[in-house]
Structure 1
């Protein structure tokens, strides 16, 4: 299954690759492969909702890391005194974590480093692709590439790939051809209207039809009592038990896929390559803004998935962009330790994550020209007092 797609990613990453129906599914089976229920996983507080829930589903204790003011990623220099049995990076918006320092730390402790590279399909560090530093790298094909579904796990050995393939088959759901086709048509439509005047009415239509996941602000409702009952007394709950939380905005995240999805994903990978120069141009132009996160200037040679701006009235700015048909997604507010207190071990210094989550405005560099009149007028957020 998906041999052509796996071969394409293997040629890019220099690692053994295994197709999975989604990044979140891939992260789950990677955690099940290299960690045991009850162990502690160091992770960023600024990431997608489903990431927290799949960590809980794997029976792990989330240890929330301090994050860097410059990047919003894990502050590698601030975690050495914390206790954890594995690390999962985020590579927020395609900006790489301090993966060299984290890889060294994990090697020193003899623990796994799982790279969540959902936002970082085209990001490299020192000429090496993100996702090729750790024990495993897990990619999304629906972000940079804009495919309907799918992800890839990159690992170093055929034995690891074979073990993950067994886990994949154990947890895959049944294929529904109609659902797969509907997802493909939705992706085609989304890619066609992105950044045009049709994006806003398309978004409102999806809202009216109930196609967008219900949110509590920027997060899905936690439903703490129900969640607690699902987790009570069970060191390892599994994906099915927490499925209502893990699926979030992708209800087919573990559905088996067919050849049509593979062909579309390969096509979208080619499109992403043709957009590389345009994306780089957008990154460099956005870096000119006083609101650009400082770390962006370190990665002007990277075709980032999004460029984070740190603005005073983020929600107001997002609404102004929405009126132009630019829908701002991938905002993760509040941080996990505020979103789900008691389910995580909180960060020792949560104020930086709160500041980032409250002020970050992720901008698609492909849409810079359309968004520029608004972006150029936005005031910077004041840095947090620490």
Structure 2
């Protein structure tokens, strides 16, 4: 079967880019206790009722984080791998182009995830497509240490803040287990129905950017250039809009709940917010890399729209009003409704006809 991504190359480059940092001092912190405080703070504010177990927080290295996300990405892109045969012409020329494409995409995906692994602090990770498996709540100790030094704070305070954000996602998805399936169905529709758009010119341009004997120059090229897009999204705007609205609503809910719950964890934790927000260049790293590959982008403005929406709904109707968004896919706000909290609430408050 033809492959779109050379996953062995992606893994090698990701591991090399991630590097091996010093033993994390954060590993001495009581992650279990910090996670439990975050869990109680989030549950206390949101009043959500988890229907599934909330994963236990765990430490991972940078290289372990890259492997987790490579595995997730491979499972998500698998529907495109099945369609790879329609992408390349028959014969030796097509085989050569397929091999070059795999190496270019492998280098790009591996390099970007490896670079991201040096900054990401924590992640609530779950499978969208592929074999069913438990979700995970992971924290990168080396990066917690680095962020504390960079911000002039204590590793424990940085971890408290990051744990609060990721635990909000974990509680949220555990309380609305349909949400994973909803996102997975949207992703599957996009991957199965959108025409492939991979062009020879794009692949050759990507290959030229990756020709360097200097590993530092290669990583700089990978960091500064978007991956080659695989899909032509013009024919899938409706699905893309639903993906963007859902992601914005999910992230906005987490940002709102995190702000509201942070007060219970002390002023030192809340005081790190500005510095940590500036540092969060890798917001939704896996989603961002995938959006590049799939031909659309989640803009930072859309995440802000999600936070503004959550704040506005709570101001109007309280947290229980906002929690109506998680009763089912039909209650999710549209992109237009993210800018009109009242219109969304009025829609979801209308009793459905029998």
What range describes the TM-score normalised by the shorter chain of this pair?
under 0.3
* TM-score, normalization by structure 2: 0.26
Which structure has the highest strand share of the two? 1
- For the pair shown, which has the larger CA radius of gyration, 1 or 2? 2
How does the TM-score come out when normalised to structure 1?
Answer: 0.25
More helix by share: 2
